[in-house]
Amino acid sequence: MATLQRFTDRRVLITGAGSGIGQATALRILDEGGAVAAADVSDAGLADTQTKAGDTGGRLTTVVMDVGSEDSVTAAVAGAVAEMGGLDALVNAAGILRSAHFADTTLADFEHVLRINLIGTFLVTREALPALRNGTAPAVVNFSSTSANFAHPYMSAYAASKGGIQAMTHTLALEFSKEGIRFNCVQPGSISSGMTDGTGQSGHSIGPGLPEDADFTLFGKIMPTLPVDGGGMFAKPDAVAAVVAMLAAPEAYFVTGTEVRIDGGTHM
């Protein structure tokens, strides 16, 4: 149980909440007393989140949402806001990862990654804005990635989508600054999730599928320097959830238009 209670009487919509970092964020904010609308494309993933959350006293709502579909986003955001009676914070954690040699990447695959990651973030944010404008200390936390600034081999579409999210976050932070809506990014790297280990329950979160002839010496540039529990290179999703909770909380009132890298010192 979290010792902090920064989200009492605070209403938060979290996409990608059926697995990985999105799920960890939902559980963290629930532990801190918040009301959470957990959105995901996967019914099974949402059921798993509900099970792991246990008895929340009615503070957890689940909603099926395909962030790549405008109709789905419009209906799901409206339903979540109505269920919670408003919205104070939005966390755009939904995303997918596809890996391939650049020359072998199809237009369909490239567009699909952009559709879910970048356009999905745009759609959910746009639909949530009216409610956020009426919220208390409104904040948006988007998910960029270390790949937006540092080379990650075989992940051109993913890196492009995350760079776009980061740039859009800066733009929105300025555009809505006088309305008091804060926009920030997290940049996870070397974090275990449905995208990195292939075990996530969300239909939009599958493993990176590296090429069979991938040159693994290239990955020496993206290894964490801090020790990881159990060895390996991936930290648990709660490492990111803790930072997301900080950025979405009212105490971060003077933080906007920036990104926080969470990568175990990979890119010092």
Q: Which of 66-80, 146-160, 245-259 has the lowest mean pLDDT?
A: 146-160
Domain 11-262 sits in CATH at 3.40.50.720
- Angstrom distance (rounded) from CA 231 to CA 219: 16
Look at residue 197 in the predicted model and tell me its pLDDT.
53
Instruction: List, in order, residues 6 or more apart from 58 with CB less than 8 Å away.
Output: none
- If you average pLDDT over residues 31-37, what whole number do you get? 98
Tens digit of each residue's pLDDT (9 = 90 or more) over 223-238: 787 888 876 778 898 9
CB 97 within 8 A of CB 154: no
**Range list of H helices, 85-226:** 107-114, 120-133, 156-175, 194-197
Strands laid side by side in the 11-15 sheet: 60-64, 35-40, 11-15, 89-92, 139-143, 182-188, 259-262
Q: How many CA atoms lie within 13 A of 169 on its CB side?
A: 31
Tens digit of each residue's pLDDT (9 = 90 or more) over 127-176: 999 999 999 999 999 999 999 999 888 999 999 999 999 999 999 999 99
Q: pLDDT above 70 covers what percent of the chain? A: 91
Domain boundaries, the chain: 11-262
Q: What is the pTM of this model?
A: 0.91
| 3-class SS of residue 89 | strand
